[in-house]
Amino acid sequence: MYKLTYKQYFDALKEGKLLGLKCNDCGSYTAPPKLCCDKCGSTSTEVVSLSGKGVIKTFTVIRVSPEGYEAPYIVAMAELEEGPWLMGNLINVDPDKAKMDNIIGKKVTVSAKILPKMNYTPDEGVTPAFVIAE
Amino acid sequence: MRKVCVAGVGMTKFGVSEKSCIELFAEAALEAVNASNIKVTDIQSVHFGNVFGDFEEGQAVMGSFAAREIGCPPSTPALRYEGACATASVAIRDAFIAVASGLYDVVLAGGTERCMAMGTPLATRTFAMCTEGKYESYTGITFPGVFAMMTHLYAKKYNIPLAKLKERMAMVAVKNHYHGTMNPLAQFQKEITAASVLKGFMVCDPLQLLDCCPFTDGAAAIVIASEEKAKKMVEKPVYILGAGQGSGAPLFRQKDITVHEARIAASKKAYEMAGVGPKDIDVAEVHDCFTIAEIALMENLGFYDFGTASEAVERGESKIGGKLPLNPSGGLKAKGHPIGATGAAQAYEIVKQLRGECGARQVEGAKIGMTDTLGGDATTVVDIIYGI
């Protein structure tokens, strides 16, 4: 039933490939994947490679972290060329120098960051790592 | 659907407690039962809210234990609800439905939490579990982090200089702490200044310590009954006029996180059911988990146009005595935020406000009140409208 499970999405991302779903009915893109098209709900979708290019829309610097994470680090949301947004870590900016002016609107490419299995996670995790391209 | 009312309400002092989750709940529940002039055995169903008892005390299935703790018989069903920070409001809405349907005449709804028992690192981790687990949590995002990203997006979208927005956010904190000075059950009962908000340590840019609500222990409970029963139980039953609940997608699918799809849907349903609109609300207890959250909800609930609420804060319109007083109890900011209990504590305040029992923090002449409770990243949102 699933065209692309989270495990398959993670495995591809680890190899530097950002996958998503393209809807055969409305043409819009869904990423990360889910059961159906995020826009129209159709289950007629196909797995496609996305460009891995986007623009930072917002961010924060986490200075009080949850167990298992070491602050400070930047969490950001980026809008991909194909439309979906991703949440990830911005990795090539010093957290102490991150300001609205030098982050929001910047073009980024998407790579992967792998996290080991922790308490209360089912397995290792993979999250998008954003790199400012300019 | 028949008419449904709140009879008695109960609430513990919010703050740090050595009592267990169930002991806290039992005290609030007994107060609500006594205020309803009924016996515990009159309760036909227990709608019990708790989020992290498993982590706080290593205790699951608390609902049934709580029902038996307060003296309910084996025939009383108990349900544990979990909707992150909206938990108790989810329980209240379901209790309302159970009575409105005619299934039960008298039920108990509420919630309890003991956040302080976890300590900050584990509490931060468990709260972060309310974010989408596969595609967001691995970034190390935290709850304050989500609202920090909301703040940057809000400043950018409406072209408000961040320093100006932060000044107005500080005014939300100052206002709610001021309201909290008049609430003997509040965790914090001291005034703060805007300067102290802007001097606090950075939790996650641009949110500083006093932009954030605290971790809190506490419980609250209300007795919900059919109109017919409630009129016999108390002098001033408070009607539940409308209730709505919505489900939000993960943040990356919500995209513009200054607009809360689930909140808009939930409040629309509540307004429609009650036959009122945002302009009819006299007083509201709303989900000010962070200072920016109160500004954003003022817009998402339809009280103000998008992009204009921070100016309304500057004009003092959300203070007691203002155009639409928000969080006369002190809100999550000052009253405290025991997440599983918060929705019931909001209901406690609104019921007391509509009955004119709030003393110094009374909103004069309030006839229609609202509670707004947000769980997760606007993932579960419940809005309830009360009237007298």
pLDDT digits (tens, 9 = 90+) for B266-290: 999 999 999 999 999 999 999 999 9
The pLDDT of A20-35, averaged and rounded, is: 98
B28 contacts chain A (CB < 8 A): no
Give A27: exposed, middle or buried? Use CB within 10 Å, 0-12, 13-18, 19+. Answer: exposed
Question: What's the pLDDT band for B187 if we cut at 50, 70, 90?
Answer: very high
Range of the domain at B222: 4-119+216-239
Looking at the fold, whether B160 and B306 belong to one and the same domain comes out as yes
From chain B residues 38-57, the ones with a CB under 8 A of any chain A CB are none
- Model ipTM value: 0.98
Whether A65 and chain B come into contact, CB under 8 Å, resolves to yes
Residues in A touching B207 (Cβ below 8 Å):
60
Whether B235 and B269 share a structural domain: no
Say how many residues make up chain A.
Answer: 134
Residue B77 falls within a domain, yes or no? yes
pLDDT at A129 > cutoff 70: yes
Domain boundary among B239, B254, B284: B239
Predicted pLDDT at A70: 94
Q: What is the mean pLDDT of residues A12-30?
A: 97
Domain match, B195 and B281 both: yes
Cα separation, B208 vs B204, in Å, equals: 7
Q: Who contacts B318 (Cβ-Cβ below 8 Å, separation ≥6)?
A: B172, B175, B294, B298, B312, B324, B325, B326, B327
> Which stretches of chain A are assigned E, i.e. beta strand?
19-23, 29-30, 45-49, 53-62, 73-80, 85-90, 107-115, 125-132
Residue A93: list chain B partners with CB under 8 A: none
Strand stretches in chain B, DSSP E: 4-11, 46-49, 78-81, 106-114, 202-204, 207-208, 217-226, 238-247, 283-285, 368-375, 380-387
As a whole number, mean pLDDT of residues B83-95 equals 98
Q: Which of B303, B282, B286, B287 is nearest to B362 (CA)?
A: B282
CB B100 within 8 Å of CB A77: no
Do B235 and B96 lie in one domain? The reply is: yes
Instruction: Give the pLDDT confidence score for residue B293 in this predicted structure.
Output: 98
A2 touches chain B (CB under 8 A): no
* Chain A nearest C-alpha distance from B132 (Å): 10
- Whether residue A67 and residue B122 make contact (CB cut-off 8 A), yes or no, is yes
Partner A contacted by B68 (CB < 8 A): no
Share of chain B above pLDDT 90, in %: 98
Domain ranges of chain A: 1-50, 51-134
Least reliable range by pLDDT among A114-128, B30-44, B90-104, B356-370: A114-128
Give me the pLDDT at residue B315, please: 98
Count CB pairs under 8 A between chains A and B.
109
Residues of A in contact with B133 (CB under 8 A): 121
CB contact under 8 A, A60 and B205: yes
Question: Is 90 exceeded by the pLDDT of residue B193?
Answer: yes
Average pLDDT over chain B, rounded to whole?
97
Overall CATH class of domain A51-134: mainly beta
Distances (CA, A) of B12 to A121, B16, B52, B65, B345: 35, 11, 18, 19, 9
Q: What is the pLDDT of residue B121?
A: 85
- Give just the sign of the alpha carbon dihedral B69, B71, B72, B75: positive
Structure confidence by residue, pLDDT tens digits, B48-61: 999 999 999 999 99
Residue B263, pLDDT > 80, answer: yes
> Same domain, yes or no, for B208 and B107?
no
| Mean per-residue pLDDT of chain A | 96
* Residues B300, B228 share a domain: no
> What is the pLDDT at residue B124?
86
- In this complex, the residue of A6, A60, A86 whose CB is nearest that of residue B252 is A86
User: In terms of domains, do B262 and B354 share one?
Assistant: yes
Report the candidate in B346, B350, B355 with the shortest Cα–Cα distance to residue B375. B346
Same domain, B369 and B289: yes
Average pLDDT over residues A69-88: 97
For residues B31-47, average pLDDT: 98
B125: in domain = no
Percent of chain A with pLDDT over 90: 93
Condensed to tens digits (0 to 9), the pLDDT of residues B318-347 reads: 999 999 999 999 999 999 999 999 999 999
CA dihedral B289, B292, B296, B297 (to 10 degrees): 20
- Domain count within chain B: 2
Predicted local distance difference test score (pLDDT) of residue A67: 85
CATH number assigned to the domain comprising residue B334:
3.40.47.10
Interchain contact B247–A (C-beta under 8 A): no
In a domain, B132, yes or no: no
Q: Which residues of A touch B202 (CB under 8 A)?
A: 61, 63
Q: Report strand pairing: B368-375 vs A29-30.
A: unpaired
Boundary residue ending a domain (B205, B239, B273): B239
The pLDDT of residue B116: 94
Across the interface, whether the CB atoms of A6 and B135 are under 8 A apart is answered: yes
Average pLDDT over residues A116-121: 91
CB contact under 8 A, B257 and A58: yes
Q: For position B125, what pLDDT does the model report? A: 87
CB proximity B119 to A under 8 Å: no
Same domain for B204 and B341? yes
Residues in chain B closer than 8 A to A89 (CB atoms): 139-140
The verdict on residue B371 lying in a domain is yes
- Residues A22-28 have a mean pLDDT of 98
Provide, rounded to the nearest whole percent, the portion of chain B with pLDDT above 70.
100
What pLDDT score does A134 carry?
66
Average pLDDT, stretch B199-213? Answer: 98
Mind listing the pLDDT tens digit for each residue in B65-83?
Answer: 999 999 999 999 999 999 9
Task: Give the torsion sign (CA, A65, A69, A71, A75).
Answer: negative
Within a domain: B48 = yes
Cβ of residue B252 closer than 8 Å to a chain A Cβ: yes
Domain check: are B80 and B225 in the same one? Answer: yes
pLDDT surpassing 90 at residue A46 = yes
Residue range B346-359: mean pLDDT, rounded: 98
Judge if B115 and B151 occupy the same domain. Answer: no
pTM: 0.98
Check residue A133 and give its pLDDT: 85
Substitution target in B54, B118, B134, B136 with the highest count of A β-carbons within 10 Å is: B134
B127 domain residue, yes or no: no
Q: What is the mean pLDDT of residues B16-37?
A: 98
Q: How much of chain A is in helix, strand and coil states, percent to nearest 5?
A: 10, 40, 50
Which residue numbers of B are catalytic?
85, 337
Contact assignment for A125 to B137 by CB distance below 8 Å? yes
With a CB-CB cutoff of 8 Å, which residues 113-132 of chain A face chain B?
A: 113, 115, 120-121, 125-128
Say yes or no to pLDDT of A117 above 90: yes
Cβ separation of A38 and B253 shorter than 8 Å?
yes
Indicate whether B110 and B171 sit together in one domain: no
Cβ contacts of B59-62, under 8 Å, gap ≥ 24:
B59/B20, B59/B21, B59/B22, B62/B21, B62/B22, B62/B25, B62/B112
